[in-house]
């Protein structure tokens, strides 16, 4: 059972697709099936809506999310009423989402369901914590939204499986390069314990990080606008903590300054990077460093060699190319199931 044994030590896992039809739902179904065979009690939800039989964007059939008997699941009431299997409601949230109130139920038999859970990372974080406390659950699974890596933030889940494939790019080298970029930001080195202790409770404001690990708030809320970026660059600091978004323009501005090779930028985690690959790699090549306070455990990469537009890649070639580029296990779920 490839990579499932690696999931068991963790209490939470996100499954995130780099694009539509990259095999994310198939990967989730495989994980649910194998964990259930290991007698693990699972809870599942999704950021956004998942489990529809027809993809709303491409109008192609989508694999439904299959629930095993004994699983807990969180969705909104409207979708719960559409289920075609027996379940018992265990908890109803007080606050409603735009789709209605969420509820958590336990499946009393196998079935398929549309899953619509928390719509933001903070709510997802609370869902994981509360679910593990309220119910006898071994692991919480989060079905990540398309092209949104935030559900996989280590602030939300401890581990992650990434899904990519031909639908993300029909050109093998381009697909590998795009996936490698995501892998590289996931694998950014972690800050020292001293720095982490100083920064982990700071949620806003640019800070200078001194050699001894102490920090100084410079009075700049973020580095998003041109004026803010100019102020940050003018500080001339070599070590900066940016708790918000690390964008393309800021990295570009640093590279245009003397001393970029000595810079070290600290971020909360990989999900805060919004830079283009070219700028990201150029900053690192120049000698700049980016360190994160928390690092998610990437357990595996799953690939879907088939695009809904009719393009097929050779599974063996895709898996081999990905493994060579990433250095982590890569699986074609359909091949495993076969």
pLDDT at residue 260 in the model = 81
Range(s) of the chain covered by CATH 3.40.140: 193-292
Backbone angles phi, psi at 196, to 5 degrees: -60, -45
The residues, any chain, with a CB within 8 Å of residue 203's CB and separated by 6 or more, are 243
Determine the CATH number of domain 4-186+296-337. Answer: 3.40.50
- Per-residue confidence band for 147, with pLDDT thresholds at 50, 70 and 90: low
Range(s) of the chain covered by CATH 3.40.50: 4-186+296-337
Q: What's the mean pLDDT in 272-281?
A: 95
The residues, any chain, with a CB within 8 Å of residue 221's CB and separated by 6 or more, are 204, 205, 206, 228
CA-based nearest residue to 161, from 272, 40, 30, 47: 30
What's the whole-model pTM score?
0.89
Residue 165 CB-density burial (10 A; 0-12 exposed, 13-18 middle, 19+ buried): buried
- Specify the 3-state DSSP secondary structure of 37: helix
Residue reference for tokens 């999310």: 65
42-51: pLDDT as tens digits? 999 998 665 4
Distance of CA 263 to CAs 85, 124, 211, 294, Å? 57, 33, 13, 20
193-292, what's its fold? Cytidine Deaminase; domain 2 (3.40.140)
**Contact assessment for residue 161 and residue 300, using Cβ atoms and an 8 Å cutoff:** yes
Does the pLDDT of residue 52 top 70, yes or no? no
What mean pLDDT is reported for the chain? 89
pLDDT at residue 55 in the model = 46
Distance CA 96, CA 116 (A): 12
55-59, 105-109, 198-202, 287-291, range with the lowest pLDDT: 55-59
Which region holds residue 213: left if phi is over 0, alpha if psi is between -120 and 50, else beta? left
């Amino acid at each position: 059972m490839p990579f499932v044994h690696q999931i068991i030590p963790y209490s939470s896992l996100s499954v995130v697709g780099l694009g539509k039809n990259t095999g994310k739902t198939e990967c989730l179904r495989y994980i649910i099936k194998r964990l259930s065979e290991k007698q693990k009690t699972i809870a599942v939800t999704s950021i956004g809506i998942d489990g529809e039989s027809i993809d709303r964007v491409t109008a192609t059939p989508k694999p439904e999310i299959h629930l095993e008997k004994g699983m807990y699941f969180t969705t909104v009431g409207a979708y719960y009423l559409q289920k075609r299997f027996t379940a018992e409601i265990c908890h109803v949230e007080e606050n409603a989402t735009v789709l209605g109130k969420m509820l958590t139920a336990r499946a009393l038999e196998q079935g398929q369901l549309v899953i619509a859970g928390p719509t933001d990372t903070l709510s997802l974080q609370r869902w994981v914590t509360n679910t593990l406390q309220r119910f006898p659950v071994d692991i919480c699974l989060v079905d990540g939204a398309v092209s949104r890596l935030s559900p996989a933030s280590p602030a939300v889940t401890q581990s992650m499986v990434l899904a990519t494939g031909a639908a993300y790019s029909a050109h093998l080298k381009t697909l590998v390069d795009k996936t490698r970029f995501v892998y590289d930001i996931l694998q950014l080195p972690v800050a020292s314990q001293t720095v982490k202790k100083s920064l982990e409770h700071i949620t806003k404001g640019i800070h200078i990080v001194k050699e001894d690990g102490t920090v100084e708030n410079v009075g700049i809320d973020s580095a998003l606008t041109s004026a803010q970026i100019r102020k940050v660059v003018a500080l001339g600091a070599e070590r900066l903590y940016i708790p918000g978004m690390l964008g393309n323009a800021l990295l570009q501005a640093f590279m245009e300054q003397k001393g970029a090779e000595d810079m070290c930028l600290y971020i909360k985690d990989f999900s805060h990077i919004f830079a283009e690959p070219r700028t990201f790699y150029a900053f690192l090549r120049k000698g700049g460093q980016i360190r994160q306070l928390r690092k998610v455990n990437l357990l595996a990469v799953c690939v879907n060699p088939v695009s809904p537009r009719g393009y097929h890649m050779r599974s063996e070639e895709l898996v081999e190319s990905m493994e060579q580029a990433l250095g982590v296990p890569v699986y074609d779920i359909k091949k495993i199931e076969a």
